[in-house]
Amino acid sequence: MDHFYTDDQKMLRDSVRRFTQDRIMPAAAAIDRDDVFPRALYKEMADLGLFGVSLAPEAGGAGLDTVTTCIVMEEIARASGALGNAYAIPVEAAHFLHQHGTETQKMWIPALLSGDAIPATAATEPDCGSDVAAMRTVALRDGDDYVISGTKAWVTFGRIADFIMIFAKTDKDAGHRGISCILVEADHKGISRGKSEELLGMHGLEDCQISFDQVRVPVANRIGPENQAFKMAMENFNFSRLMMSSMALGMAQGAMEDAVAYAKSRRQFGSEIIKFQAIQFMLADMSKDIAAARLLIHHAAKLYDAGFPIAKEAAHAKLFTTDMAMQHVSNALQIHGGNGYSKEYRIERIFRDVRLSQIYEGTNQIQRMIIARQLEKELA
């Protein structure tokens, strides 16, 4: 792919790779073991300017393209899926605020980019995930205020966030056409945060449940028009799915590198196991599918920057990349044999971390529905 990257992209990729090798890789196992937010590494990513790579210059970003952000994500996730996940949160929040926020709300962006303010987005609920229209959290109008009541689940950074962008029903009877997005400072009266969730993987991200008990905030805190947040969220998903695809791609790349290194050093039956055709075929399929995934992601990213609708292309990238990553990370673990089942080897952590990618930002079953519906429209 080097031949297709610009000089700026190659320079940034190499800089991020040095950072991940020097700072993230040595810390990744401890982050996974201790399950504590790596605030220092988060701040270092911010100090490198990584959170604003593709954000417009007028918003304080570097103004590079979305492909470049995908490259950065791949490099970070190659070292740690959890840090890749952490990278996505401020990147997506800054884009969302820049696109939909008021001038007052956009004042959060500099602190986001510097790592001094940590955002969270609260949409999923204990009884509703993919079915966003079924959410029960409400924000009822009372004069110049909204009064928010409800519970949100699986809020990444929920325990440590400085502000929360919460999706709630402002019209209880309108389904997805009655949802608004409201910015709330996390220390606001009436907000209570649950304990950090104990998850299979992706440790250190302080996921939790958040309850809102008659939380009163000004109507001016609403992001975008009233009752239009579902559409805003769906548009934002196109960008976030490119982030999640690149995160899975990075983990698959790291798994393949580990599998090749292990296969070259491990001897069985008098030979390095990389000489065995069964191993070669698994590695060849990894290489093929990783290359194909990267092309799908970058194709969708280019269309996104050109202003084209990419619901189908983003779903293609997310579906293909995360499914192939799960398959090939599993195969990389198989190549490690019994050692792959040990925490002494990185592949065990990658195997646990990558599983979330098939669920996050719309399950892969939802991606198939999106693709089918787009085909129905296009081929009518």
Pairing of the two strands 208-218 and 191-193: antiparallel
The candidate with the shortest Cα–Cα distance to 49, out of 37, 39, 66, 64, is 64
CA–chain centroid gap for 258, Å, is 23
Q: How many CA within 13 A on the CB side of residue 206?
A: 18
| Active-site annotation holds for 361 | yes
Tokens of residue 103, six digits: 């001038």
What residues are paired with 169 via a beta bridge?
Answer: 138, 179
SS3 of 324, please? helix
SS3 of 112, please? helix
Yes or no: say if 213 and 285 are a contact pair by the CB < 8 Å rule: no
Q: For residue 214, give the H/E element and its range.
A: strand 208-218
Q: Which of 344, 361, 376, 378 is catalytic?
A: 361
Yes or no: say if 138 and 150 are a contact pair by the CB < 8 Å rule: yes
The one-letter amino acid at 145: D
Yes or no: say if 31 and 82 are a contact pair by the CB < 8 Å rule: yes
In the block, residue with structure tokens 């195997």: 351
DSSP designation for 40: H
The candidate with the shortest Cα–Cα distance to 352, out of 365, 343, 339, is 343
The crossing angle, in degrees rounded to 10, of helices 277-305 and 311-336 is 160
Yes or no: say if 242 and 314 are a contact pair by the CB < 8 Å rule: yes
SS3 of 162, please? coil
Greatest Cα-to-Cα distance within the chain, rounded to the nearest angstrom: 79
Annotated catalytic sites, by residue?
Answer: 361
